[in-house]
Amino acid sequence: MQTWEWGEFKRVTGGWQPQRLALERDGRVVAQASLATRKLGPLKVMVVSKGPALDYADLDLADAVLDELEQRAARFGVVWLKIDPDVVAATGLPGGEDDHADIKGQQVLALLRKRGWRFSGSQVQFRNTLCIDLRRSQDEILAAMSGNTRRKVRVAAKKDVTVRLASVDDLPLLYQLYQVTGQRDGFLIRPLAYYQRAWRAFMEAGLAHALIAEYQGEAIAQVILFHFGSKCWYFYGASANEERGRMPNYALQWEAMKWAKAQGYATYDMWGAPDSFDESDSLWGVYQFKRGFRGVLTRHIGAWDFASSPLLYYTYEQLAPRLLKLM
């Protein structure tokens, strides 16, 4: 989401105006930020999705970058500037034996509070996720999975599920499976043109990759992966209503991990885990599926807002939910 391609995608599909910053120290680039600004009626807002990108262990650098962003937000007259840096606050289940606070993340949180930033009431991206270490061998990754998940991975192979690479020519098929899943699971999806633009642009840029599971030549499931730097994300997944007992989703996850490992990625991010770790959370069912692959539960610091005008920000925060509900 800090790539040039994502900025262009949001420009075309959402009316966001991207602006890219490279911040230098002693003639060397030490931080970057892709900002997106958009008008909401007479007001303007600014977002830095999953950024800014820098070494957050260097708190002086983080402080200087935040100062630059705050000044820019004030000059642009935005109601709020939202950042969502890829900074880990803690790992493990909250309150569990494996709950470990991340020192660097806690220092960044303290810096944000000191500078007057507010934890955002509207979190755009998932705060929590499950990350699988791909630096281990395939046997080690498979052995770490729960017994039930490992069995289902093998069931797919025994029941003649095959997995193939997808190309841009498969985009209508990928969308068709996504439509079926949205209707079955009750979530809204956007028109075909939106996903074609997102998937095609990133596939052609070498930043996305799709896999299709088939049975007897018929597509029964798909995954779309995004990858950048050392990480590969499981971003989209879908399946047909037929042949679900053949466990194609398990086969796809395992093949996706093997593919990402073969390409040299260090981490497979399953992109999304609950905010509340109980059955009341809407992500609980998906989380049960993902946790069987035994990734590390990773809790990020989430999105934070800077308001150059606290009064305007407060007014917006009170009115925006009502307007959205009315719409």
pLDDT digits (tens, 9 = 90+) for 179-199: 999 999 988 899 999 998 989
pLDDT digits (tens, 9 = 90+) for 202-215: 999 999 999 999 99
More confident residue, 91 or 316: 91
pLDDT tier for residue 61 given thresholds of 50, 70 and 90: very high
For residues 118 and 152, membership in a common domain is answered with no
- In the chain the first and final C-alpha atoms are separated, in Å, by 27
What's the pTM value of the predicted model, to 2 decimals? 0.93
Q: How far is CA 157 from CA 27, 143, 152, 249, 250, in A?
A: 54, 17, 9, 12, 10
For residues 193 and 285, membership in a common domain is answered with yes
For residues 149 and 112, membership in a common domain is answered with no
pLDDT at position 323: 66
Q: What is the mean pLDDT of residues 78-83?
A: 95
pLDDT at position 40: 81
For residues 110 and 35, membership in a common domain is answered with yes
More confident residue, 309 or 141: 141
Answer yes or no: is pLDDT of 48 > 80: yes
Lowest mean pLDDT: which of 41-45, 148-152, 263-267, 280-284? 41-45
Q: Please choose, from the candidates 133, 54, 95, 104, the residue with its C-alpha nearest in 3D space to the C-alpha of residue 294.
A: 133
For residues 59 and 84, membership in a common domain is answered with yes
pLDDT at position 309: 80
Number of C-beta neighbours around residue 168 at 10 A: 13
List the domain range (segments joined by +) for residue 225.
Answer: 130-298
Number of domains in the chain: 2
pLDDT at position 324: 64
For residues 160 and 198, membership in a common domain is answered with yes
Q: Are 294 and 146 in contact (CB under 8 A)?
A: yes
Q: Which residues contact 67 (CB under 8 A, 6 or more apart)?
A: none
For residues 292 and 151, membership in a common domain is answered with yes
For residues 193 and 315, membership in a common domain is answered with no
Lowest mean pLDDT: which of 10-14, 29-33, 133-137? 10-14
The DSSP-derived string for 6-55 is HHHHHHHHH--EEEEEEEEETTEEEEEEEEEEEEETTEEEEEETT--EE-
